[in-house]
Structure 1
């Protein structure tokens, strides 16, 4: 591999990299997919034992490889997800280089790109960065102030209740990971303390169907980020929490609290064994419920507008209300021996030495196409739609980028004018129906 030149290099061999490889293969575009681990390494190594998808299996629709198992309305667990991706990689002739990490990407003076990898140097005409958005586990600096005897793990390191020392556990964060880990610990009989955040929730089922099915029919997963007035903010919204565990159900923090879990507002500070919280628990719970009920309003309106025969269903009634807003917690008095930081991930694109990032380090792009010719990103949340980055929508994004790659090849070779079968063509980067758009040349 050292010293090789390729038309396209894809960095990342997860669902994003495999999807764009499938489309490139369909167009006979020579390429290689670099995967620093093995296929599905992120799913295998950064998910806990009981992890499962929150979207139903029928939404697993990678290019040329829709879900074909016996339970389309179920939710694949971690090992099934890994097996699904392994089968996908084996289903077509993907030029995969496992155990090879990209360490540096920069422009070549003669055009194209130079990549430094753990297997040597490569050059490429075009590069797709499909390394995913969850690169660096994030912990707040205040974590350094916890007593040395408290075990700390990030959500990406959490595996099971038994892997933590005996005693109570504090989970910080109520995004999807935080809520599901808190439930995992709670169901195992552990005493759980949960510092909540502002993440919204969604009901699992409503009016006879999975809410995901309603939202799919309503077109939510196909809605482009550009249709929102605050498109930039939309890209950084936290996902709604829900679970596919045991066939799928709501995650109701109020129910957890009724059954013994201790809830708090945002974690505000740490002074040794004493923790301080913002008095916003009620606001966090109410806001999450309001989003869930608002989604039900949309479903009701869709059912009514389309004359759909769907069973009526009573609306949610809170099963617990905080008697007070707890503002402090003593770790020693509560018997807390471990903390799980479900505080998200950051991006680390320092290895990319090209001017395509904004002040937050986010790649600036139009549907994955950056301002630097020949460089693309794939697999970002809300890259184009709500389905982007998910098994349900990443294939469409991959196909779009494959079209741009073909168009870029033609532009590079023919300087914008392309003669195919004696017919003049000009590339159309915004055309979603054809790879190339016929155009009369004067």
Structure 2
């Protein structure tokens, strides 16, 4: 994008916010680096009057001043340490130092040194690295003290670091700059991350509840456009699902009229065998239509999502079967709170348990909680389902010959309805045969 085009683009865009965030973070980091460097410099190089160094230099100067001339060079040499070197000079010219200039801070130290030396007339000169000629190898910190006989003591140091060592000082500065930069970046990017997170939560909510309300339109321009497009798509899907449900329910309802006429006409058939066959076909079609109407007009799909005890729901479901004289094994945890539609989940699990009771034996239900969701397993000890049909059975009105018959009342909508409810919760439903016979139905429901 050309610079002029970028300047003419809307102000509240992701691109501009990223650019402004980056520049703000960089400028803040630079300002904080400078401020912290200044503070660390004062910390690492405190004023000379606060270091105790001037007292030490005054003591050395007094010792050299009181010593015989021939011993002064050796005393000065032994007085040197890792901070400064000490040299005794007969004349000032031997010091080879530049011309000093007036420094108010140094004048305060100069008066202090004279009082420590006990010589109010002593000349004291101080130099810093920037007072030396450029590229002078002797550049550094220097202090010259005049003794009573006119000779001089020179204290030299190439660096002034009488506080914190460079390595820990630099590490502290780097750590503080990084922390400040991270804080600035987190605060600046919150404007972008907040709307995106809410957009993602709204999309996930719609994945498990197609009646979820529209997402609030907020954030930069691109994010607002994406939310508007998503809300439009959500409205279209909701309208399509509603129209499809109404259309199929109307078709199923209208089929009842010709079935009633067929039954009336069947009363006039003289052949009892053909009449019985016709009535069986009519009854089967009537059962399919009733099941379809119940499926399409499922009020559980209008149920709002709420928090409920999934383990308690399983206990209630199993107790209903036990009241009917059917024993179902149950192994759930004591309590498990889940956010979903309890009536729909109960109906889906009821369909699965009905199949396990009709077509198998020893029905059992287990409930396990994971990091991202729950796993419900409905198992039995029946013939199982051929792997070739384990996906076909989820199609509406599909029935496996030999495993289902017209006397059980099944029309092939139980598994279809169960999977539809599970998918509406953002989960999955799968089948697998057990090693020693039977079917294992796995229902995985994610946490929203």
Q: Fold-level match, TM-score > 0.5?
A: no
Which structure would you say has the larger Rg? 2
TM-score, normalized by length of structure 1? 0.18
Name which structure has the greater RCO, CA cutoff 8 Å, separation 6+. Answer: 1
Larger helix proportion of the pair: 2
TM-score, normalized by length of structure 2? 0.18
Larger strand proportion of the pair: 1
